[in-house]
Amino acid sequence: MKELKIEEFVDVLNSAEPTPGGGGASALAGALSAALCGMVAHLTTGKKKYAEYQGEIDKILEETKALCVRMEDLIAEDAKAFAPLAAAYGIPKEDPDRAKILEDALVNAAEAPYKIVEAAGDVRDIVVRLADIGSRLAISDVGVAAALCSATAKGAAMNVYINTKLMADRDKADKMNEDTKALVSSVCSDCDAVYDRIKGDLNA
C-alpha cells in the first residue's frame, strides 16, 4: 500500500477490490492532516515572531513526521486485517472451529481502525496547538488539517463499528464501541472548534 502512487491508490479504491477501503482512506486523511501540520510547523520554525515557541515547533516537526509514517503503516495494517476476516467467512458453517476463528478475525479487524482513531487523537493535539502558535500566514492550513483529522476519526470509527456489530462477545464489543465513541467525540469536538475559530477569523 505504501508503495502505491496517489493515482494508483485512488484507482484501487475506486474498484471492486476490498482493500484499501474506508479504513485505509481514513488513515490516508490522517496522514494528510499530520503532513499539513508539519508544513505549518516548517513555515513557522526559525521565524523571530514565533521564537518563544521554537522548542515546541521543533517537537512538532518530529511528531508530525512520525505520525505520517504511523498513518501510512496503518493503511497497510487495516488492509492486512481484512484478509483473515474474509477467509473466516469462507469457512463452512458446520466447521466447529469457525465461530472462534471468525470472532478472532472480527476483533482483529476492529482493532486496526481503532488504532487509526487513536492516531487521530495524537494529530488532534498538534492541530490544537498550531492553531495558537503556528504561522498566521498558514493558519488556513491548520483549519484544513483540523477538518481532515475530524474526518479521520469519524471514518475509521465506521470500520470499528461494522466489525463490533458482528462480534459474539458483546461485552468486548460494547467496550470497544464506548472507547471509540468517546475518543471520536473528543477529537471531533476539538478539531471542529479549531476549524470554526479559524473560519471565523478568516471571515471577520
CATH of the domain at 39: 1.20.120.680
Distance CA 142, CA 174 (A): 34
pLDDT tens column, 176-195? 999 999 999 999 999 999 99
State the pLDDT at residue 1: 65
Structural domain harbouring 143: 6-203
Give me the number of domains the chain comprises. 1
Residue-wise pLDDT for 107-143, tens only, equals: 999 999 999 999 999 999 999 999 999 999 999 999 9
* 151 domain residue, yes or no: yes
pTM equals: 0.94
In the block, residue with C-alpha cell 500500500: 1
User: In 3-state terms, what secondary structure has residue 41?
Assistant: helix
CB count within 10 Å of CB 55 equals 9
C-alpha cell at 203: 471571515
Task: Provide CB contacts within 8 A for 141, sequence distance 6+.
Answer: 36, 39, 40
**Distance of alpha carbon 103 from alpha carbon 85, whole angstroms:** 9
In 3-state terms, what secondary structure has residue 133?
helix
Residue at 1 is within a domain: no
